[in-house]
Protein backbone atom coordinates (compact mmCIF):
# COMPACT_ATOMS: atom_id res chain seq x y z
CA UNK A 1 0.00 0.00 0.00
CA UNK A 2 1.40 3.37 -1.06
CA UNK A 3 0.73 5.89 1.70
CA UNK A 4 0.88 9.66 1.30
CA UNK A 5 0.65 12.16 4.13
CA UNK A 6 -0.63 15.65 3.34
CA UNK A 7 0.38 18.01 6.13
CA UNK A 8 -0.07 21.63 7.07
CA UNK A 9 0.02 23.45 10.38
CA UNK A 10 -3.61 23.22 11.52
CA UNK A 11 -4.81 20.30 9.34
CA UNK A 12 -8.04 22.21 8.85
CA UNK A 13 -7.98 23.19 5.19
CA UNK A 14 -5.43 22.45 2.48
CA UNK A 15 -4.26 19.07 3.75
CA UNK A 16 -7.84 17.90 4.35
CA UNK A 17 -8.81 18.79 0.77
CA UNK A 18 -5.70 17.13 -0.67
CA UNK A 19 -6.23 13.86 1.20
CA UNK A 20 -9.90 13.80 0.19
CA UNK A 21 -9.05 14.29 -3.49
CA UNK A 22 -6.27 11.68 -3.34
CA UNK A 23 -8.56 9.11 -1.75
CA UNK A 24 -11.27 9.86 -4.29
CA UNK A 25 -8.98 9.57 -7.32
CA UNK A 26 -6.56 6.83 -6.30
CA UNK A 27 -7.10 3.10 -6.54
CA UNK A 28 -7.92 2.29 -2.91
CA UNK A 29 -6.45 -1.18 -3.28
CA UNK A 30 -3.05 0.38 -4.00
CA UNK A 31 -2.90 3.76 -2.27
CA UNK A 32 -4.29 5.88 0.51
CA UNK A 33 -3.75 9.33 1.91
CA UNK A 34 -4.03 10.78 5.37
CA UNK A 35 -3.85 14.37 6.47
CA UNK A 36 -2.30 15.77 9.61
CA UNK A 37 -0.87 18.91 11.14
CA UNK A 38 1.86 20.08 13.44
CA UNK A 39 -0.59 22.15 15.51
CA UNK A 40 -4.02 20.68 14.70
CA UNK A 41 -7.01 22.96 14.88
CA UNK A 42 -10.30 22.10 16.51
CA UNK A 43 -12.23 21.55 13.26
CA UNK A 44 -12.04 21.81 9.50
CA UNK A 45 -12.57 25.40 8.35
CA UNK A 46 -16.26 26.04 7.49
CA UNK A 47 -15.38 27.58 4.13
CA UNK A 48 -13.48 24.38 3.23
CA UNK A 49 -16.47 22.23 4.20
CA UNK A 50 -18.67 24.37 1.97
CA UNK A 51 -16.51 24.33 -1.18
CA UNK A 52 -15.87 20.61 -0.90
CA UNK A 53 -19.59 19.92 -0.40
CA UNK A 54 -20.24 21.89 -3.60
CA UNK A 55 -18.40 19.19 -5.55
CA UNK A 56 -19.86 16.26 -3.64
CA UNK A 57 -17.13 15.62 -1.07
CA UNK A 58 -18.34 15.61 2.51
CA UNK A 59 -15.67 16.52 5.06
CA UNK A 60 -18.12 17.12 7.91
CA UNK A 61 -16.77 14.12 9.82
CA UNK A 62 -13.10 14.98 9.18
CA UNK A 63 -11.13 15.88 12.31
CA UNK A 64 -7.75 17.59 12.40
CA UNK A 65 -5.08 15.30 13.83
CA UNK A 66 -1.47 15.63 14.89
CA UNK A 67 1.29 14.35 12.66
CA UNK A 68 2.94 11.68 14.79
CA UNK A 69 5.65 9.15 14.18
CA UNK A 70 3.02 6.41 14.41
CA UNK A 71 0.86 8.10 11.76
CA UNK A 72 3.87 8.54 9.48
CA UNK A 73 4.93 4.90 9.81
CA UNK A 74 4.82 3.04 6.50
CA UNK A 75 4.31 6.23 4.49
CA UNK A 76 6.30 6.80 1.31
CA UNK A 77 5.64 10.49 0.71
CA UNK A 78 5.05 13.63 2.78
CA UNK A 79 3.54 16.61 1.01
CA UNK A 80 3.53 19.82 2.98
CA UNK A 81 1.20 22.66 2.13
CA UNK A 82 3.15 25.88 2.07
CA UNK A 83 3.54 26.23 5.82
CA UNK A 84 7.08 27.61 5.65
CA UNK A 85 9.24 27.09 8.74
CA UNK A 86 6.36 25.36 10.54
CA UNK A 87 6.21 22.55 7.96
CA UNK A 88 6.84 19.14 9.43
CA UNK A 89 9.82 16.97 8.62
CA UNK A 90 9.72 13.20 8.92
CA UNK A 91 13.10 11.47 8.60
CA UNK A 92 13.24 8.93 5.81
CA UNK A 93 10.22 10.20 3.88
CA UNK A 94 10.43 11.67 0.42
CA UNK A 95 9.07 15.21 0.76
CA UNK A 96 7.54 17.78 -1.52
CA UNK A 97 6.09 21.19 -0.68
CA UNK A 98 3.12 22.68 -2.46
CA UNK A 99 3.14 26.46 -1.89
CA UNK A 100 -0.59 26.94 -1.42
CA UNK A 101 -2.45 29.83 0.17
CA UNK A 102 -4.31 29.16 3.41
CA UNK A 103 -8.08 29.15 2.70
CA UNK A 104 -9.04 30.23 6.23
CA UNK A 105 -11.04 33.44 6.16
CA UNK A 106 -10.71 33.89 2.40
CA UNK A 107 -13.61 34.88 0.13
CA UNK A 108 -15.41 31.84 -1.29
CA UNK A 109 -14.12 32.42 -4.83
CA UNK A 110 -10.56 32.32 -3.47
CA UNK A 111 -11.27 29.13 -1.48
CA UNK A 112 -12.68 27.54 -4.66
CA UNK A 113 -9.55 28.51 -6.56
CA UNK A 114 -7.37 26.93 -3.84
CA UNK A 115 -9.55 23.80 -3.91
CA UNK A 116 -9.24 23.53 -7.69
CA UNK A 117 -5.46 24.01 -7.57
CA UNK A 118 -5.19 21.25 -4.98
CA UNK A 119 -7.28 18.90 -7.13
CA UNK A 120 -5.02 19.60 -10.14
CA UNK A 121 -1.88 18.97 -8.08
CA UNK A 122 -3.27 15.68 -6.72
CA UNK A 123 -4.23 14.54 -10.23
CA UNK A 124 -0.75 15.44 -11.47
CA UNK A 125 0.86 13.56 -8.58
CA UNK A 126 -1.15 10.43 -9.37
CA UNK A 127 -0.34 10.70 -13.08
CA UNK A 128 3.38 11.50 -12.81
CA UNK A 129 4.44 9.02 -10.15
CA UNK A 130 3.76 6.22 -12.63
CA UNK A 131 2.89 3.82 -9.87
CA UNK A 132 -0.46 2.76 -11.29
CA UNK A 133 -2.23 4.45 -8.37
CA UNK A 134 -4.88 6.28 -10.36
CA UNK A 135 -8.27 4.62 -10.21
CA UNK A 136 -9.75 3.78 -13.58
CA UNK A 137 -12.97 5.78 -13.84
Q: Which of 23, 14, 20, 74 is nearest to 41 (CA)?
A: 14
Question: Looking at the DSSP assignment, which residues form a beta bridge with residue 97?
Answer: 80
* Alpha-carbon gap, residue 86 to 64, rounded angstroms: 16
Q: How far is CA 17 from CA 88, 92, 108, in A?
A: 18, 25, 15
Active-site residue set: 8, 83, 87
Amino acid sequence: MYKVIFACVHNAGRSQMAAAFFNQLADRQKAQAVSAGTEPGLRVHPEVLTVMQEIGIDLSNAKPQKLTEKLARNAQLLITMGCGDKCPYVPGLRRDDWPLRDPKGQPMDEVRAIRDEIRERVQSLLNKDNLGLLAIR
